[in-house]
Chain A
Amino acid sequence: MREKKLKDTNTESRDLELLSAYADGELEGKELIEVEQKLKISPVLQQELEKLQKLKSLTRTSAVLPPEDPYFESRLMARLNSESSTGAKLKKWFPAAAFGALAVFLMIFLKYNPGVIDEIVEEQKTNLAGFYSENLKPLLFAADLTNEDIFNFAFYNKLPLDNEEQKYLHLGYSNEGEEFFEINTSGFLPEEGSYENFAKAMKLNSAQKLEMDSILDSYKDELGAQLLVNDKNTLAINPNLWNYNKAIAADIIAWAKEINKDEFEKLIPVKLPLYNEKNVRTIVNEVKSIQPEEFIFVTPDSIFTEEYVFNKQLLRQQIQEMKDQMKSADDQLKKAQEELRHNLVVSLSNIPKIHKDTSFNRKFKVNVDSNNYRIELTRVKIPEIVLPDFDEIAANIETAAKYMQSINITVPKGVTREVSVKMDSLNSYHFNFSIPGLDSMAQYMPKRVDSLLQNYNFNGNFRIDIDSLVSGFDVNFSDSLHSLQNKEFRIQMKKLEEEMKQFRREMENLRKDLRKELRQDSVKVHTKKSIEI
């Protein structure tokens, strides 16, 4: 049964294969006759043939033919020409041949000059070291070590490299007991005031404190010379730094023990192999006399050791020179300050009000920094000008202005001027005032009242369009101190003060009227008022 089924399957498969070839027109002879006969009697095969033909058609139509390539022949010919020429053949093998020849040459060369690579490496290393060891300066200049820094270095093994970036050098011991150093940019830093706390704990009096300061200070130069930095971000560390670390600690401990043994033993109860001053001196001198020939260079590219002799003598000389220069600069600065103060006092002495204040000279402050110098006037008694509360007025006016359509202030020619203020279609103001022939005032007044008020910006910076109010008057208060010497200005100041008082009264009146107007709301108000200036 199973065999029959298998046979049927095989026959069916053969029929289908023949049918496929028939559809391709590839049958002939017996096979062709056989298929044609079966097709006649089998609708299934007919259907199958139909499907095959459809599939063939789909396959044919699905094809995407390549886009035309008009340069195909020319590219082919070019390739053929380049490949067939002897030059091209050589060119093809040239890289391999060149590398081969180079390898052979190097092998022979290195056989007879075995040390050449080491020499090159050494030379490059020296060049690199030379580049990074240029202009090395003690860290002292760069980080400005304090006594507390030195104290922290001795006891906490941490030395600040860059206070701004909080970079510090940490000396430590690995689990194997080997010294190491780290350059850290974050992490634990000794708390501020550790040195002060030590001094307090040891109950040091001021003389003893000074003595300890001098001990720490004595290491400053030395410590600075162990750590060198330059503008290429190089940090050169002398391995002797570890010795200094121990020597400073020993020195301080020995000194502290001698100064106040009781307190010291409270602080450090464990019996340590403490040194007395004599053997500490020996250690310190020994440490100071060690001149390690190699510095450890930490550069942005690499870390390496290199022989480097730092000339302490030259450093001291340079420091002295710099100190001299700074002193001379300081003297010059003091002189300049003195002159400036004198000039200011002279020029300001003309101002009667200020001159009355005899403490003026002492209230003057000059700050100098690298960018500029600044004269602070905070302590100078600046004549106080009492000003009305313009903020309040402005707020009121703003509220009132909401109801205004337009404000026309007409100033007819003549001694008596009438000012008309229209509030809205129903309300209007009329007020007269006498102006003793001030034409500039006439030009000024037609401005809208609200814009007039906006011109008065009194928030700290006293700015006023005063020139139109008083002819020939030109001042800006914010930098008016320069003009204090001006006699004319002082007269104008007085005038201005008078005018300001007058103006304030006017404004107060106007405000009252406006408030009244607001209260009355739609009631028409006529105000006649004379304003004297």
Chain B
Amino acid sequence: MIFKKKKLNLQVPKILNLDDDFSLINRFIDGDESAFKTLVVRHKEKVRSIIYLNLNASDAADDVAQDVFITVYKNLKNFRFESQFTTWLYRITINKCRDHLRKVKIRNIFSPIKDSEADLGYTPDVENSDIARIVREAIKKLPDKLRIPLTLKDIEGLSYQEIAEAMDCEIGTVKSRIFRAREGLRNILKPFEQELMK
């Protein structure tokens, strides 16, 4: 009896580690508002980082991050525990990014001058800019559907599986998009190949 009890005590921390997000969600569903705050603290940097990368360091990034967590808060009671919380969270994050980018595009239709100015703003100049900036600008030029999986993989370190779930697509699609993103990136960076590949 005593041995059995000890064994049970050893198992408890392991379970908590694995299902920590789930237990927090359960606590939230049971009415513990502080559990939500813990979730926010735990995941906010990742969420902010994804948004920041995908919105090109826009000033609106933090507002979008707030929107993500408000959506999470409103829908958390309906969470079905079928996938990781992070997968669900990243999907919401990516959808919010897409929404925002769509709004910006619509806004730019009504102010085309500003849009064209933004396009013209990037003038590669190796002598006066550092490599990181050149690569950043090149990534910005990729279409959303290639840029998002590339940054999620290479910068956020998500697996193809996680990316596929977050973007609601097949793993094969993720693999293909990441490959195409890299090809595109190499094309854009071709003028700087010698400097970059040193």
Interface residues of chain A, those whose CB is within 8 Å of chain B, are 16-17, 20-21, 24, 26, 51-52, 54-56, 58-66, 69, 72-73, 75-77, 79-80, 83
Q: Across the interface, which residues of A come within 8 angstroms of B48, CB to CB?
A: 66, 69, 72
Pairwise interchain contact B70-A79, C-beta atoms closer than 8 A: yes
Q: Across the interface, which residues of A come within 8 angstroms of B159, CB to CB?
A: 26
Within 8 A of A (CB), among B18-73: 37, 40-41, 44, 48-49, 51-53, 57, 61-62, 65-66, 69-70, 73
Pairwise interchain contact B62-A21, C-beta atoms closer than 8 A: no
Say which residue of B52, B178, B186 sits within 8 Å of A66 (CB atoms). Answer: B52
In the docked arrangement, what's the CA distance between A65 and B160, Å? 22
Say which residue of A26, A63, A77 sits within 8 Å of B160 (CB atoms). Answer: A26
Say which residue of A51, A59, A72, A79 sits within 8 Å of B154 (CB atoms). Answer: A59
Say which residue of B44, B73, B136, B179 sits within 8 Å of A17 (CB atoms). Answer: B179
In the docked arrangement, what's the CA distance between A422 and B96, Å? 99
Pairwise interchain contact A16-B179, C-beta atoms closer than 8 A: yes
| Interface-centre pick from A60, A66, A69 (highest chain B CB count, 10 A) | A66
In the docked arrangement, what's the CA distance between A77 and B37, Å? 8
| Interface-centre pick from B70, B136, B160, B179 (highest chain A CB count, 10 A) | B179
Pairwise interchain contact B175-A17, C-beta atoms closer than 8 A: yes
Pairwise interchain contact B179-A58, C-beta atoms closer than 8 A: no
Indicate with 1 or 0, residue by residue over B158-186, a CB within 8 angstroms of chain A CB atoms: 01100000000000000110110011011
In the docked arrangement, what's the CA distance between A418 and B50, Å? 105
Q: Which residue of A lies closest to B56 (CB)?
A: A64
Interface residues of chain B, those whose CB is within 8 Å of chain A, are 37, 40-41, 44, 48-49, 51-53, 57, 61-62, 65-66, 69-70, 73, 131-133, 135-136, 139, 150-151, 153-155, 159-160, 175-176, 178-179, 182-183, 185-186, 196-197
Pairwise interchain contact B44-A21, C-beta atoms closer than 8 A: no
Pairwise interchain contact A58-B70, C-beta atoms closer than 8 A: no
Pairwise interchain contact A80-B70, C-beta atoms closer than 8 A: yes
Main SS at interface, chain B: helix
Q: Across the interface, which residues of A come within 8 angstroms of B185, CB to CB?
A: 55, 59
Pairwise interchain contact B70-A76, C-beta atoms closer than 8 A: yes
Pairwise interchain contact B62-A69, C-beta atoms closer than 8 A: yes
Pairwise interchain contact A64-B57, C-beta atoms closer than 8 A: yes
Q: List 23 A-B contacts (CB under 8 A).
A: A16-B183, A20-B182, A21-B175, A51-B186, A52-B182, A54-B196, A54-B197, A55-B185, A55-B186, A59-B150, A59-B154, A59-B185, A62-B132, A63-B155, A66-B48, A72-B65, A73-B37, A73-B40, A75-B66, A76-B40, A76-B69, A76-B70, A80-B70
Q: A20-B179, A24-B153, A62-B131 are in contact. List 16 more A-B contacts (CB 8 A).
A: A16-B179, A17-B179, A20-B178, A26-B159, A26-B160, A26-B175, A55-B186, A58-B135, A59-B151, A61-B132, A66-B57, A66-B62, A69-B48, A72-B66, A76-B40, A80-B73
Say which residue of B62, B179, B182, B186 sits within 8 Å of A72 (CB atoms). Answer: B62
Q: Which residue of A lies closest to B156 (CB)?
A: A63
Q: Which residue of A lies closest to B48 (CB)?
A: A66
In the docked arrangement, what's the CA distance between A73 and B69, Å? 10
In the docked arrangement, what's the CA distance between A65 and B52, Å? 7
Q: Chain A's nearest CB lies how many Å from the CB of B133? A: 8
Pairwise interchain contact B57-A76, C-beta atoms closer than 8 A: no
Q: Which residue of A lies closest to B69 (CB)?
A: A76
Q: Across the interface, which residues of A come within 8 angstroms of B53, CB to CB?
A: 63
Q: Chain B's nearest CB lies how many Å from the CB of A29? A: 13
In the docked arrangement, what's the CA distance between A61 and B131, Å? 10
Say which residue of A21, A69, A77 sits within 8 Å of B179 (CB atoms). Answer: A21
Q: Across the interface, which residues of B come within 8 angstroms of A58, CB to CB?
A: 131-132, 135, 196
Say which residue of B49, B154, B186, B197 sits within 8 Å of A60 (CB atoms). Answer: B154
Say which residue of A52, A56, A66, A76 sits within 8 Å of B61 (CB atoms). Answer: A66
Q: Which 7 A-B pairs have the closest CB atoms?
A: A62-B135, A66-B52, A20-B179, A59-B154, A17-B179, A62-B132, A63-B155
Q: Across the interface, which residues of B come within 8 angstroms of A52, CB to CB?
A: 182
Q: Across the interface, which residues of B come within 8 angstroms of A21, CB to CB?
A: 160, 175, 178-179
